[in-house]
Structure formats: structure tokens, C-alpha cells
């Protein structure tokens, strides 16, 4: 804690993708030399000012000048996916710009009575009984259904420009190891992790996450 230092947290303001151009021009007026940070997520000005663009906006190149980015910031998001995965549930949505063109949500019984997912429990216990085998089968079936749906969406609406994946890192390897694998690789430049907590996937959660992807954040140094 640093209560005695007198430092104040920056003032933060949320804005939507539709307001990005206006926010960029206002930021440039105060910090004309702002550049993209090392993570490619925000532009940084003097004194700790940060303009974090919505994830649905064009991606920032590391070190890119904000005045250069301004020329392409208004490009609308093309065909993109949001993939949410948790133990026992998945939700997938495909958007063309702001229009939701296809979606699917599935739930499977893979969680034990104590709330622990079977694919994690199997790593710490011995022989599986019938219930354990059923949960493992359901989990594998869910991974297959997820990837099959992704291939269907790519065939019907692709190619995707961006893929947003909301899943615990420990589940990534199982998703990419499933047969068939997803229509993208782990190092695909289109793939971007959703940096927020995702609740149990369903249609409502899919829409909540997508709305969040369209929000930016302006952080101004405290006076």
C-alpha cells in the first residue's frame, strides 16, 4: 500500500467503438507524440496518459504513432469470431461488422458434484468409474462440437479477420489437440485472448463479452 505517497490513480473513462475517432483526435491534441505500447493494446502519452482502443478496432502495431493509426482507426470490424469455453460449456458467435450472423451454445455434464471439472480431476486420481468416464466422454464431445462448429462457420462466413478466445489457458491445449482441430493454430496472428473474466458460456454471456470488446478506455493523469 502507498497511502502516504499522495499519488492518485488515473481518471478512467469508457467509450464505445463509435466514439474512437473523436477520442483519438482529443488525445492527439494533448499528446501528439503518443505511440503504441509494447503489448499493442494502447497508446501512451506523457505523464501516464493512455488511450486503450476497443479490441474490435484495428490492431495497434508496437511503437506505432497515434497520428498514423488515426488514418485507419475508422475501419469497421470485418468477419470475426468470439469463442467462449469453460468446463462443460461453450458459446460461439460469428459477426460481420456489428451484425451477429450465427451463434451456438452447448452445455455438457463434465463437472463433479464437488464442482471440479473431470478433465482436471483425472490428473490427480486413479481409476475412473462410470460417472468419471461419462464426464470425460462429454468433455471430449464438447471439444469436437466446438471445433466442428468453427469449421462450419469458416465455410459459411469466413475467412475470419479476427478470432477472440475466452478460455482458461489450461483448456487451450485440449481444444487445439482435439480432432478435428480448430481452423486456426495457437500462433495464428488473428487469434487474440479475451482479457476479462468470462462466466459460464451461454448466449447472454456471449453478447456481454462482445459488447465489452467494443469498449475502449481513456486514462488521464490525475491533477
Residue 126 has what pLDDT? Answer: 47
Q: Could you give phi then psi for residue 191, rounded to 5 degrees?
A: -80, 130
* Helix ranges (DSSP H) in the chain: 20-30, 66-69, 118-121, 130-157, 169-177, 203-213
Residue 140 has what pLDDT? Answer: 87
Contact by Cβ (8 Å): 67, 28: yes
What SS3 class is residue 6?
coil
Contact by Cβ (8 Å): 53, 60: yes
The three grid cell numbers given for residue 147, joined into one nine-digit string: 471445433
Q: Could you give phi then psi for residue 60, rounded to 5 degrees?
A: -90, 135
Give the residue among 11, 30, 52, 25 at the shortest CA–CA distance from 220: 11
Give the residue among 171, 155, 153, 173 at the shortest CA–CA distance from 163: 153
* Tens of each residue's pLDDT in the chain, 223 residues: 344 445 556 688 999 999 999 999 999 999 999 999 999 999 999 988 999 999 999 999 999 999 999 999 989 899 999 999 988 899 999 999 999 999 999 987 765 544 455 454 445 454 456 667 777 788 888 999 999 999 999 999 989 999 999 998 888 888 999 999 999 999 999 999 999 999 999 999 999 999 999 999 999 987 6
Residue 3 has what pLDDT? Answer: 45
Residue 138 has what pLDDT? Answer: 80
Residue 2 has what pLDDT? Answer: 43
Residue 112 has what pLDDT? Answer: 55
Indicate the DSSP class of residue 196. S
Residue 193 has what pLDDT? Answer: 92
What SS3 class is residue 154?
helix
- Please state the domain extents for the chain: 9-75, 79-205
Domain 79-205: CATH architecture, name and number where available? 2-Layer Sandwich (3.30)
Contact by Cβ (8 Å): 214, 5: no
Contact by Cβ (8 Å): 71, 49: no
Q: Could you give phi then psi for residue 20, rounded to 5 degrees?
A: -60, -45
Contact by Cβ (8 Å): 66, 34: yes
Contact by Cβ (8 Å): 58, 66: no
Give the residue among 91, 88, 79, 58 at the shortest CA–CA distance from 166: 91
Amino acid at each position: 500500500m502507498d497511502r502516504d505517497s499522495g499519488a492518485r490513480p488515473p481518471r478512467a473513462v469508457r467509450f464505445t467503438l463509435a466514439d474512437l475517432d473523436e477520442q483519438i483526435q482529443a488525445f492527439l491534441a494533448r499528446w501528439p507524440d503518443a505511440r503504441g505500447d509494447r503489448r499493442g493494446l494502447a497508446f501512451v502519452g506523457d505523464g501516464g496518459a493512455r488511450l486503450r482502443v476497443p479490441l474490435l478496432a484495428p490492431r495497434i502495431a508496437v511503437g506505432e504513432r497515434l497520428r498514423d493509426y488515426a488514418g485507419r482507426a475508422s475501419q469497421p470490424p470485418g468477419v470475426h469470431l468470439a469463442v467462449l469455453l469453460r468446463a462443460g460449456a461453450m458459446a460461439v458467435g460469428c459477426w460481420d461488422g456489428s451484425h451477429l450472423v450465427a451463434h451456438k451454445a452447448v452445455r455438457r455434464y463434465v463437472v463433479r458434484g464437488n464442482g471440479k471439472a473431470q478433465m482436471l480431476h483425472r490428473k490427480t486420481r486413479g481409476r475412473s468409474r462410470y460417472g468419471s468416464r461419462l464426464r470425460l466422454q462429454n468433455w471430449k464431445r464438447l471439444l469436437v462440437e466446438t471445433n466442428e462448429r468453427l469449421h462450419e462457420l469458416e465455410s459459411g462466413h469466413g475467412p475470419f479477420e479476427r478470432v477472440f478466445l475466452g478460455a482458461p489457458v489450461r483448456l487451450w491445449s485440449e481444444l487445439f489437440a482435439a480432432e478435428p482441430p480448430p481452423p486456426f493454430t495457437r500462433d495464428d496472428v488473428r487469434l487474440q485472448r479475451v482479457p476479462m473474466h468470462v462466466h459460464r458460456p451461454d448466449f447472454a454471456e456471449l453478447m456481454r463479452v462482445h459488447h465489452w470488446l467494443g469498449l475502449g478506455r481513456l486514462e488521464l493523469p490525475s491533477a
